[in-house]
Structure 1
Amino acid sequence: MTTVAVIGASRGIGLELARQYAADGCRVHATTRALDAPGALGAVGGDVHLHPLDVVDDGQIEALAGALSEEPIDILIHNAGINAGRGAGDPETTARSMRINAEAPIVTVAALLDSVVAGGDRKVAVMSSVQGSGRSRAGSPDLYGDSKRELNTRFRAIEPEWRARGITAVALHPGYVRTDMTGSHASLSPEESVRGIRNVLAGLTAKDSGRFLDYRGKDVAW
């Protein structure tokens, strides 16, 4: 049985990842900040295990790693993030955006790395965005894009260490998806995006590690 961990699964893309993997018979470990009121995530059927996690809480990250220490993880997807909008942002908002979007994915994956190494597939994906591309909105204030660009920088720095442990790790752009974060004007449904993401992850081989891919498997410029 394939075991998948989805960090940030309470809604949108993360929720759909949990649904689709569970529907295919995978064991799914899914995190939410509101374990006492998981909403739609709590209604997902199958072999789904919910865990509390606020990615800015180092104690909760450590607790999750402890809870999964005996559980090999085949595929780890870090999806949690926020959209603080465009513009420079005030210092507090900027710091929070960077902590959640740029720092937390690297910290959380590092905490769970032993479980991924113990898995069969040994695949990691961090959810980035085309807005994190250096070619996107160059010179324009964009707090969300800046945080994703910083994530890409950190990912590229740490990925060789993960690769050395036998892990295939990629950054992913899920497309412009209709979620609570983007609103109803986005062109892509969560179902379509996640089907693409799953196909991309299923087809990864070791030589793909370190790439920045969209949900169709096409390379995105760093």
Structure 2
Amino acid sequence: MPSVMVIGASRGIGLELARQYGEAGWQVHATTRSLALPGKLGALAGDVNLYSLDVCSDDDIANLAVALNDTPIDVLIYNAGVIGSRGEGDETTRKETFRINAEAPILVATALLDNVAASDQKKIAVMSSTQGSGRLGGKGGYLYGDSKGLLNAKYRECEPQWRERGIASVALHPGYVRTDMTGMMASLSPKKSVKGIRQVLAALSLADSGRFVDYKGKIVAW
């Protein structure tokens, strides 16, 4: 049975990822900030295993790695993210947004790299955005886009090391999806986005590793 780890699975795209993979017969490992209040995540059918994780906590990330021990993870998807604020935001908001959107994806992937390398499929996806395109320095004056631009830069630095271990990875733009973060103005449903993401990851190989693609598999500009 293949396994997937979804980081940030309590709602929106993450919840739909956990649901679809579970229904497809995968073993699902999924994180939420509160195991006491798992919400819809706790009601999913299938082999779904929940873990508490605050990606702003180095201790939580280390504890997650300990909890998984030597459990192989075929596909690791970092989905956790925040919008932040309009413009540049204050110092506290900037620090939190850059931590969750740009730094934690790499920290989590690094902590679980042995688990991915021990699996059959060996795949990692970090959820980015087209709003990060052209913002690789993370200094464009728009907090969310800047944080995703910094994530893209950090991912490109780490990807060759992951590839050396036989791990294929991508930065993923899920589309403009209707979630609690985007509201009803977004036109794309989580179901359709996730269906596409799963198809992209199913086809992912080392030959594709290091790319920035959308949920349809189309190349996105850095």
Alignment-derived partner of residue 67 in structure 1: 67
Aligned equivalents of 1:79, 1:27: Cα separation in 2: 17
Aligned equivalents of 1:173, 1:111: Cα separation in 2: 23
Alignment-derived partner of residue 80 in structure 1: 80
The answer to whether the 8 Å contact 2:32/2:38 transfers is: yes
Name structure 2 gaps, 5 residues minimum.
Answer: none
Alignment-derived partner of residue 18 in structure 2: 18
Which residues of 2 match residues 88-167 of structure 1 at below 5 A? 88-134=88-134, 141-167=141-167
Instruction: Return the letter of the residue paired with 1:179.
Output: T
Name structure 1 gaps, 5 residues minimum.
Answer: none
Alignment-derived partner of residue 56 in structure 1: 56
Instruction: Return the letter of the residue paired with 2:119.
Output: G
- How far 1:185 moved relative to its partner? 0.7
Instruction: Return the letter of the residue paired with 1:156.
Output: R
Deviation readout 1:170-208 (Å, 9 max, x if unpaired)? 000000000000000101000000000000000011111
The answer to whether the 8 Å contact 1:86/1:141 transfers is: no
TM-score normalized by structure 1? 0.97
The answer to whether the 8 Å contact 2:168/2:205 transfers is: yes
- How far 1:152 moved relative to its partner? 0.3
Aligned equivalents of 1:22, 1:102: Cα separation in 2: 27
Count of residue pairs brought into register by the alignment: 221
- How far 1:92 moved relative to its partner? 1.0
Aligned equivalents of 2:52, 2:18: Cα separation in 1: 15
Alignment-derived partner of residue 39 in structure 1: 39
CA RMSD of aligned residues (A): 1.4
The answer to whether the 8 Å contact 1:69/1:114 transfers is: no
- How far 1:140 moved relative to its partner? 5.8
Secondary structure of the 1:13 match is: helix
Alignment-derived partner of residue 175 in structure 1: 175
Instruction: Return the letter of the residue paired with 1:147.
Output: S
Task: Flag as ranges the 4+ runs of structure 1 deviating above 2 A.
Answer: 138-141
The answer to whether the 8 Å contact 2:174/2:197 transfers is: yes
Instruction: Return the letter of the residue paired with 2:106.
Output: I
Secondary structure of the 2:112 match is: helix
Deviation readout 1:83-142 (Å, 9 max, x if unpaired)? 113301111111111111000000000000000000000000000000000079x99631
Aligned equivalents of 1:33, 1:208: Cα separation in 2: 32
The alpha-carbon distance between structure 1 residues 43 and 132, as it changes in their structure 2 partners (threshold 3 A), is same
Alignment-derived partner of residue 192 in structure 2: 192
Aligned equivalents of 1:76, 1:156: Cα separation in 2: 17
Deviation readout 1:68-92 (Å, 9 max, x if unpaired)? 1221000000000101133011111
The alpha-carbon distance between structure 1 residues 140 and 159, as it changes in their structure 2 partners (threshold 3 A), is closer
Aligned equivalents of 2:195, 2:42: Cα separation in 1: 21
TM-score normalized by structure 2? 0.97
Identity, in percent, stands at 62
The alpha-carbon distance between structure 1 residues 135 and 80, as it changes in their structure 2 partners (threshold 3 A), is closer
Secondary structure of the 1:147 match is: helix
Aligned equivalents of 1:85, 1:189: Cα separation in 2: 23
Aligned equivalents of 1:89, 1:219: Cα separation in 2: 30
